[in-house]
Structure 1
Amino acid sequence: MLPASLRVSVAGFGTIGGEVIGALARGIDGLTLAAVSARDKVRAKERLAELGLAIPVCELSELPSHADIIVECLPPAAFRSIAEPAIEAGRTLVVVSAAALLENEDLLARAQERRVPLHITSGAIAGLDGVRACLEGTIETVTIKTSKPPMAFMSLPNLAGRKAELEQLSQPICLFQGSAREGGTAFPTNVNVAVALGLAGIGVDRTVLEIWADPTILRNTHEIRVMSDAAEWSMRIENLPAPGNPRTSRMAALSTIALLRRLTASTSVGS
């Protein structure tokens, strides 16, 4: 039986972390916000005060001592700084930065060894329940096509030499085609969804990813196709941006909040 309330700490107070913190402040049954971390601690304390919260703003390494559940909402480069201490402390870890797991696969093994629950959010896509169901049979192929307006790729170091091309683009162009693992390494801030899809299904090496810059669209769009012995299906999702941050889909935050609700819910819908 779960305790009356589980303590939640949130690592990161950016677009996603801020929305998760706000949801916890408004109330999620069975969960209590206990601590947060942020680069700008002064501003974090001000924002918490605006929410009527008087909780610690900690260093990442301190969060496990304040939590039963830790929600990771960090840039990929900072992922290990919270994931490793959370796992070693035996804390349930909610992972937003799925692509960061590709560079830290030893932590997956360590979590399994210590029997620490790791929950990876679905982020800005839907359909992972269908993928998991089909995996109980045989899945032949899984593909995902991610299309974004060219502006979404302008700041990527590996595309610095193509900035002028992207600015003048009039037709969609394919920037990448390969496995989800290869794409997650090349585009770590853009393909968390492809890595989550791979981990839910036939693996990141067999999941095929295409990344497109498309000047004809305004929304980040993901198209998934699954071929299996149980079903052949496809889905398309067009994401609205998070308020104040056009580079992040709001679904990324909402899927994290939904996952937190499921952790203590008495009824669960979907596989």
Structure 2
Amino acid sequence: MGDTIPWLYRYSQTEQDPIWHSEGNVHIHTDMVLEQLYVLFEKEASYLDETQRQALVLGALLHDIAKTKTTKRKEIQGIERVVAPKHEDNGRSYLAYRLIDLELPISQVHRVMGLVGEHHMPKLLVVKNGDRGAYWRLSRKADTELLYWLEVADMRGRICPDQKTQLSYLDEFRLFCEEYGVWGKTYEFALKEALLPLLENCSSKEKKYTYAHAIHAFERDEIFVIEEAIAKAYANRVAHPELVIVCGPSGSGKSSWISENVQKYQLISLD
């Protein structure tokens, strides 16, 4: 795997903060996380299927991949600490094409990218008292159930003074996910099932517009019941601005698709 993801070779040379990670460098920590993950597979998480387990193993192996690039020393409250700012986002970006080279199904690629890119969020949502919308947004980016198990292994696979507190945050995260209906799933399917029958006489574009605005409004806690979504989008759902972005390699048929599907639209740019 190192030939496809060469940053793996840097783990043993990548230091971590001695307070947050007394166990040592990224290589040591990752090994401990994987050990704890396999313990979970034997016990609390034994119900997970092979696809979920594969995603978690890859997530555990790669969750700190970008620490090899972003780690630096920084003074915090007069003390020099080791930090790796935005290593989650950087890791997700770094892995996007490399995971495809591993010949994984695209759904599994998305699942692993979600774990790597969002693995800091479970504790953060609890600490910052995230609202329902924040949990709903997260559920569209990553599998919350797998995030929970990854972070349990992540916390158990380190040595730090507040480990018990951090694990308690994860338990709270799970409870909130269950309360908001996004434990291991997104809310989108249920939202669409409830919304579309109420728009039976609307056109396809009107349905898409209302559905998109419903997601936007629910995730920002601007509305709380499905009828509000319809009312909020009513004024503009028939006639509203629309931007079409076509993406694809040269010669793949973008211009042909435009002429067949949106020929009356004004062309803004060829690039």
Q: TM-score range by the shorter chain?
A: under 0.3
Mark the structure with the bigger radius of gyration: 2
Structure-2-length-normalised TM-score = 0.24
The structure with the largest strand share of the pair is 1
Structure-1-length-normalised TM-score = 0.24
Structure number with higher relative contact order (C-alpha < 8 Å, ≥ 6 residues apart): 1
The structure with the largest helix share of the pair is 2
